[in-house]
Amino acid sequence: MFAAESLVRTLINQGVEVCFTNPGTSEMHMVAALDRTEGMQSVLCLFEGVATGAADGYARMADKPACTLLHLGPGAGNGLANLHNARRAHAPVVNIVGDHARDHIKLDAPLTSDAAGVCRPMSRWVGCVSDAAELSTMAVEAVRQSYGPERGVASLILPADCAWSDEEPDVLDAVAMPGPTPVADDRIADIAAALKAADKPVILLGNDACREAGLSAAGRIAEATGARLFMDTFVPRIARGHGRVSPKRLAYFGEQAIEELGDADLLVIAGSKPPVAFFAYPGQPGELTPGSARSETLAGPADDVIAALEAVADALDITATPLDLPDLSQAPKLFPDEALNPGYVGISLLRHMPEDSVICDDATTSGMGVFPWIEHGPRHDWLCLTGGAIGSGMPQAVGAALACPDRQVFALCGDGAAAYTLQALWTQAREKQNVINVVFANHSYLVLNVELARVGAGDPGPAAQQMLSLDNPKMDWVKLAEGFGVPGQRAATAGEFDDALKRALAASGPQLIVAEI
């Protein structure tokens, strides 16, 4: 036995049961340890961005960390975009990055890099193993740091010689992990009083406040005070569907968000921070809190926002009332011969999506078009692109399917976003996952065409148009999917998509539908 086995066994004892990996030479003793040790499932990913995105999706649905296993600084660098999304989602991830043996670093071999420096911008904690004897204690610390109390990415840098050492550190038993920080009673009382006194209060929900229990409590508060409920534009996980409280999603564009918040005189932040514009625009404000509103924070991302919302609701002395359930038999009519658009995709999901599905949204403009149609449809969890780094949808679906193998998972992807991490299809096929990938093929970075006009950069010429166009050549997503072992279908009308969705749901294993819009 070598030290890496103690690391793996210790991680298992802390509840880490899945490793998304793309290893190299420096990680071979970790590979061997995973092979020799029962209790942790190893999932091979063809690209590090798939591994990190899968760890993000797993964490959002399992409420605990998986680990990654990446190869040196360049491997970690390949996974940074989805680690950024995980960081913004406050998703617990244990990111293990192999490094050269300690006495080899001074030789400046071709793959030598500052692995810790690569990880640091996307991590809430970085630990570097300096001796094999501390391997188990560092593993426990990495898991503990991922739990927070402000959850996030904890990166552990593992030199190869510490992994292969025959000095076996003790395998550590499970330790208690930190939970969210309780919100003080006087803060609860202050927020309840402020809501009672306000004429036009708004509550902005983020992070765990958008889970079912948080939404239920927020609904009780809104009933008591007349507060309008909004949620961040991109929250990690939203509980949606019939019988659930449905806050309004704050508009993506800053000027629209300012108009929505309008004449509020109180803005209560629950689980998030005061809203800001996604980007800076000439002559536009970056802060979106109305000038007429006082801003008060009930709870931030590190706080127990669900308990805080429930406590405020209790302080207002309002009990929950049954919600009116919409008649799902009255789904909007589908016009089968009409050209496909995101709204028709939403209507098809409303008609056919199984209860308790999971939707991983990486479709930007098209996802916004699907979102409202299933607001009161079958119950589901919707995972947003929290950090704005596209390429999350298909990898996130890998992780969500590992966390929830009995639930139907959908990945809604723009064609530009899907091209970042289409290697995830191979992992879906290898693991025989219950994932339906919908690729919206508009053959363009559509949102960037909108942004080009908004930033005041002038009318696009031929060179600018080519930098935002994906139609020369057009990607054949059916062939790409089949090349990775995933059956593909193409739909250009509302009826074709509806039929394709029914076939995909009836089939086993992963599927892909190209939505030509």
3-state secondary structure of 189: helix
* β-bridge partners, 437: 411, 512
Task: Give the percent of the chain with pLDDT over 90.
Answer: 88
- pLDDT for 423: 98
For 273-320, the pLDDT digits (tens) are 999 999 998 889 999 999 999 999 999 999 999 999 999 999 998 776
- The whole-angstrom distance between residue 359's C-alpha and the CA centroid of its chain comes to 10
185-315 and 328-516 share one fold: yes
Give the fold, CATH level 3, of 328-516: Rossmann fold (3.40.50)
- Rounded to whole angstroms, the Cα distance separating 453 from 456 reads 6
What value does the mean pLDDT of the chain take? 95
| pLDDT for the residue 1 | 67
Give the pLDDT of residue 320. Answer: 61
What is the pTM (predicted TM-score) of this model?
A: 0.95
Query: 322 pLDDT band (50/70/90 cuts)?
Result: low
Secondary structure, 3-state, 226-260: CCEEEECCCCCCEEECCCCCCCEECCCCHHHHHHH
* pLDDT (tens digit per residue) in 124-141: 999 999 999 999 999 999
Residues 6+ apart with CB under 8 A from 149: 178, 179, 180, 181, 302, 303
What is the mean pLDDT of the segment spanning 364-392? Answer: 96
pLDDT tens track for 431-471: 999 999 999 998 877 677 677 767 767 677 888 777 888 88
pLDDT tens readout for residues 394-412: 999 999 999 999 999 999 9
Mean pLDDT of 29-43: 97
Q: What's at 242, amino acid-wise? A: H
Tracing tokens 């709204």 back to the chain, one arrives at: 343
Half-sphere exposure of 80 (CA within 13 A, CB side): 15
Q: Which architecture does CATH list for 185-315?
A: 3-Layer(aba) Sandwich (3.40)
pLDDT higher than threshold 60 for residue 329: no
How far is residue 77's CA from residue 115's CA, in Å, rounded to a whole number? 9
The pLDDT value given to residue 324 = 63
Give the pLDDT score at 333.
Answer: 83
Does the structure show a pLDDT above 80 at 328? no
Task: Give the CA-trace dihedral at 360, 365, 366, 370, to 10 degrees.
Answer: 70
Question: Could you give the CA distance from residue 382 to residue 319 in angstroms, rounded to a whole number?
Answer: 27
CATH code assigned to 3-164: 3.40.50.970
**DSSP class of residue 468?**
H
Task: State residue 321's pLDDT score.
Answer: 64
Q: What is the pLDDT of residue 452?
A: 73
Count of Cβ atoms closer than 10 Å to residue 201 Cβ: 24
pLDDT above 70 covers what percent of the chain?
Answer: 97
Domain boundaries, the chain: 3-164, 185-315, 328-516
Task: Tell me what pLDDT residue 317 has.
Answer: 83
Distances (CA, A) of 403 to 4, 57, 140: 25, 8, 21
Q: Each residue of 205-245: pLDDT tens digit? A: 999 999 999 999 999 999 999 999 999 999 999 999 999 99
- Ramachandran bin of 510, using left for φ above 0, alpha for ψ from -120 to 50, beta for the remaining angles: beta
